[in-house]
Copies of this chain bind each other. A is one copy, B any other.
Amino acid sequence: MRVTWTPSRHPDDYPFVHRLRVRFAETDAMGVVHHAAYLPYLEEARVEYLRSLGHPYAELREEGIEFAVVEAAVSYLRPLSFDDEVDVHLVLAGATPATFQIGYLLTTGAEPRATAVTVHAALTRSGRPTRLPRWLTSLSPPPAAGHP
């Protein structure tokens, strides 16, 4: 696995936060949010983070760049329920010329609910690996510095 970063459980360690609300469709017969539904939460937060940087993902795609997910890891701490307001805290946790990783902390109120890491590669529209955009690698701390 290329995940090299361990997500913190402290919101202060994350420079960006996106709030969303749990849909009923995302719950399962255990009465809580299904574990697969967390990945679209991370994605939604990622998209808002890119927008906040002035690089909306829809524009990147029009320019011919896709950010494929090459790895995803989620640690489920306490279940989420229907109608919960969830804060997805996000940090760019390292980049190489070809991949970057993002760390996440999900909280409701002050309570940690889940942590996650996703690793992404830049692809051309035809699916070939390509270099990450300059603005992204320049933003990112070196991956080695990622970790306590």
Contacts and interface: CB of A to CB of B under 8 A. Distances in A.
Given A28-B29, A35-B72, A36-B36, A57 B83 contact: yes
Interface string A32-74: 1011110110011001000000001110010000101111111
What interface size band does chain A fall in?
Answer: 35 or more
Contacts of A43: 23-25, 36
What is the interface of chain A mostly: helix, strand, loop, or mixed? Answer: mixed
A61 B83 CA distance: 11
Interface of A: 1-3, 6, 21, 23-32, 34-37, 39-40, 43-44, 47, 56-58, 61, 66, 68-76, 79, 81-83, 127
